[in-house]
Amino acid sequence: MTLQVLAVDDSRTMRNLIAIALSDAGFEGHFADDGEQALEVLAGIEPDAIITDINMPKLDGFGFINEVRKKKEHGATPILVLTTESAPELRTRARTAGATGWIVKPFEQRKLVRALQMITG
């Protein structure tokens, strides 16, 4: 079975880099450029994991995580935060909202893939 991953980032370059990492690992990627669009995409798929940025227009990563966790069918879906932020209080806020893990950009492709493999078990 192919791992399905929803990746949310307002940077086209970052979405492209994530797409390459997912594709190279044999994962199927679904993409959105902000939290609002991601909720729309999420309505049509059942991802094995979600990757989200924090700083995005319309609905930021914290708001997106909160909305995902409200949905019964996605309550246990692993969420990996991929962001330029590294402040401990932001990590704590993300974990409290329901994030499973945290990776700081720029990321190494193999570390992202390994993290996805770990959180999807």
Tell me the pTM.
0.96
CATH of residue 47's domain is: 3.40.50.2300
**Structural domain count of the chain:** 1
- Three-class SS state of 105: coil
Residues 91, 47: contact at Cβ < 8 Å? no
Residue 102 domain boundaries: 4-120
How would residue 121 be classed by pLDDT, with cut points 50, 70 and 90? confident
Q: pLDDT digits over 28-49, tens only?
A: 999 999 999 999 999 999 999 9
Q: pLDDT digits over 51-104, tens only?
A: 999 999 999 999 999 999 999 999 999 999 999 999 999 999 999 999 999 999
Lookup: tokens for 24: 């190279």
Residues 4, 43: contact at Cβ < 8 Å? no
Neighbours of 58 (CB within 10 A): 13
